Amino acid sequence: MRDVLLLSDRGVTLGIVHWTHAMTLMLNQERSKVTPIAFYGDDVVVHSAHDVHPLPSVIMLRYREGRNIPYTDMVKINKKNVLTRDDFKCQYCGEPLTMQTGTIDHIVPQSRGGRHEWTNIVASCKPCNNKKNDYLLKDVGRKFDMFLRKKPRPPKRDLALKRYIQNPEYAEAWKDYVAV
């Protein structure tokens, strides 16, 4: 199932949300927060308990929303987004990565209190990830000649959008709403 473009009440791109989240926002019984403004088409539908709903390709907030919409959904920490932020390169040795060969590495291992957040996570090849294991870079960095190529930062909001619209399906569905 495809993801959904989220616009502000003024039509500014806010992010990309998972289709389940888009449907939740739309079908919220108490107060629907968004209006669908374009759909993927008749063949892209979501089944709820009693109904079939066409999946919107673009949704717009009904009013200015302060806090309840996770604008940052598009930069969720997952392998795809970490690899994308890090240009599909191992941040220790520079080796090009794919979704198959890439892993995400916690710089300070979670077992040592490292947080699951953008600034503590980098794309890593499996050999580097294995070498580093549960150690701290300051302990094994010199031994293995491992160092971080750049300081990891949270990705920019438009990062995911750029990647998405390289996919012709998204480019077509969203072309009226984002600069493709």
What is the contact surface with Zn ion in residues (CB under 5 A)? 90, 92-93, 95, 125, 128
Closest approach of Zn ion to the CB of residue 102, in Å: 10
Rounded to whole angstroms, the Cα distance separating 26 from 111 reads 39
Contact 103, 129 (CB under 8 A): yes
Nearest alpha carbon to residue 44 among 33, 34, 53, 32: 53
Between 145 and 176, CB nearer to Zn ion: 145
Cβ-based neighbours of 12, under 8 Å, separated by 6 or more:
none
Between 1 and 148, CB nearer to Zn ion: 148
Between 18 and 149, CB nearer to Zn ion: 149
Closest approach of Zn ion to the CB of residue 85, in Å: 16
Cα→Cα distances 20→1, 28, 163, Å: 9, 12, 20
Between 59 and 128, CB nearer to Zn ion: 128
Closest approach of Zn ion to the CB of residue 153, in Å: 20
Closest approach of Zn ion to the CB of residue 92, in Å: 5
